[in-house]
Amino acid sequence: MATLQAHNLFFSSSSSISSHRKLRAGLHVPSANLRTKGVSLPKIPQMISLQREELSLRDDNAATGCTHPQPMAPSNDELLVSKVYAVLGAIADRAEMHAIIGAQRNDWNHLLTGSINAITLTSSLMAGISSIPGGEAHFLAFKLSSVILFAAATGMMLITSKIQPSQLAEEQRNATRLWKQLGRSIETTFALRPPTELDIEDAMQKVIALDKAYPLPLLPGMLEKFPANVEPTQWWPKQKSRQQQAVNGMRRNGWSHELEEEMRGILRVLRMKDEEQYVRLGKLVLNINKSLATAGPLLAGLAAIGSGLIGSPALGPAPALVGVVGGVLAAAVNTLEHGGQVGMVFELFRNCAGFYRRLQEEIECNMGEKDEQRRENGELFEMKMALQLGRSLSDLKRLASYASPSCKDEEMEEFAGKLF
């Protein structure tokens, strides 16, 4: 009996093992077959999670009776952040546009200068050839060609002197730098604290002021290239009272009587020395540029008239002399004006004067605020002023002596800025 039970147990276990092996063999699929047929099995955990999320959404929709989820209205903080990114996007776009236009107008300056000089010198050569006696065949051809080229050079000089391509390029280069500077300033401000509506309004005013100071279009809207009065360029809005920026543990927000005297001295030096110097130099360069802009087209026009009168028996060799010499002088004047980029130098001086005017307004805005807690932190403001003027903090304090009423304007020997 025991033998029979052991025999049955052996066969039952063998059959179960064989059936288990068959089941495993039936479920086993070679991976090579899957790869050759391009079949891929989905990942079970991901499918389960997706199905659970789908069932959850269905249950929520069924419970609320909504078939499509409605978008939520943005919060106030999200709206402010969106406005910040919109302003930063516009600033980045402006910087790129000014950089592209600046490169284009710089190319204008080089191409127009070279083209006008080539036309003028060719006209002078033709005028000289047409004055050589002994050939009526070439006389009329060279004479007419010289007159036409001189007339074309005169018109191109008038247009170039009007728009001043070198000055246009300098405007766009400086605008590109200021737009990038404005973008970095806004990013730094909002990295330190959350934005407010006043911050957004202030950023918008700075964008509008910079757009007005450096317009993109050429005509109309171009800045006056020969203004009656030379004024510093202003690319910032009117300074307003600052928000409270008190620092914990500092009773006067970093301000002291010595610091106020120092800022008064800096303000006086900036107004009497730095800004005045660049405005004076700007007027000098402007007068030189006016003279060159008038002389170039005038000489080219006289050369055209002289070329047209070549061959007149009553005038003799004088028309040829006027045509050749006038054309050479016109090319020299054009090279000096546009090759020397006199208009760019004038714009550079005007921008430098604007830089020092902006520093003055920042000092006046802070000093004019009676509540010291509403001023910018004194130590931070002093450090910023030193960096912008290219001075050390100890070197900056020496300017406090100029705040004394006993110090006369003639006694101020040094300038506040050391960078330029």
Tens of pLDDT along 231-282? 999 898 887 655 544 444 344 688 888 898 889 889 989 988 899 999 999 9
pTM for the predicted model, two decimal places: 0.74
**pLDDT surpasses 60 at 181:** yes
The predicted structure's pLDDT at residue 18: 42
Residue in this structure with the two tokens 């109309």, named with its chain if needed: 220
pLDDT, tens only, 276-294: 999 999 999 999 999 999 9
The percentage of residues in the chain with a pLDDT greater than 70, rounded to a whole number, is: 76
Q: Is the pLDDT of residue 159 over 60?
A: yes
Nearest Cα to Cα of residue 389 among 407, 367, 364, 363: 363
Chain Cα centroid distance, residue 132: 55
Is residue 28's pLDDT more than 70? no
d(CA 409, CA 2): 129
pLDDT for residue 92 = 95
> DSSP string covering 246-311, please?
--TT-TTTT--HHHHHHHHHHHHHIIIIIHHHHHHHHHHHHHHHHHHHHHHHHHHHHHHHHHHTTT
305-310, long-range: CB < 8 A, 24+ apart: 306/127, 307/123, 307/126, 307/127, 307/130, 307/143, 307/146, 307/147, 307/150, 308/143, 308/147, 310/127, 310/130, 310/131, 310/143, 310/146
pLDDT at 219: 79
Q: Count Cα neighbours of 263 within 13 Å in the Cβ-side half-sphere.
A: 23
d(C-alpha 376, C-alpha 252), whole Å: 11
Is it the case that residue 57 has pLDDT exceeding 50?
A: no
Contact of 289 with 337, CB cutoff 8 Å: yes
pLDDT in tens, 408-420: 766 677 888 888 7
What is the predicted pLDDT for the residue at 137?
66
* Angle between helix 275-308 and helix 76-130 axes, rounded to 10 deg: 40
Helices (H) and strands (E) in the chain, counts: 13, 0
Cβ atoms within 10 Å, residue 349: 24
Q: Over 90: is that where the pLDDT of 129 sits?
A: no
Longest CA–CA span in the chain (Å) reads 157
User: Which pLDDT score, from 0 to 100, does residue 403 have?
Assistant: 67
- Write the pLDDT tens digit of every residue in 59-69: 444 444 444 44
pLDDT tier at 48, thresholds 50, 70, 90: very low
Q: Quick check: 390 and 401 in contact, CB under 8 A?
A: no
Alpha-carbon distance 227 to 27, whole Å?
Answer: 91
- For the record, the structure tokens of 308 come out as 């047209």
- In terms of pLDDT, which residue wins out, 405 or 198? 198
Task: For residue 244, give both structure tokens.
Answer: 């409270």
Cβ pair 305, 322 in contact under 8 A: yes
Residue 220 has pLDDT above 70, yes or no: yes
**DSSP-assigned letter for residue 65:** T
For 335-386, how does the pLDDT look when each residue is reduced to its tens digit (9 = 90+)?
A: 999 999 999 999 999 999 999 999 999 999 988 888 888 888 888 999 999 9
pLDDT score at 211: 92
With 0-12 CB in 10 A as exposed, 13-18 as middle and 19+ as buried, what is 222?
A: middle
Q: How far is 173 from 187, CA to CA, in rounded Å?
A: 22
Q: What is the pLDDT of residues 381-410, one digit of tens each?
A: 999 999 999 888 888 888 877 767 666 766
pLDDT band at 54 (very low <50, low <70, confident <90, very high): very low
- The DSSP line for 92-116 is HHHHHHHHHHHHHHHHHHHHHHHHH
Radius of gyration of the chain, Cα coordinates, nearest whole angstrom: 40
pLDDT score of 258: 87
Q: What is the pLDDT of residue 6?
A: 40
Top pLDDT among 42 and 230 is at 230
Quick one: average pLDDT of 123-147?
A: 84
In contact, 153 and 300? CB cutoff 8 Å: yes
Number of neighbouring beta carbons within 10 Å of residue 320:
23
Split at pLDDT 50, 70, 90, the class of 3 is very low
What pLDDT is attached to residue 64? 40
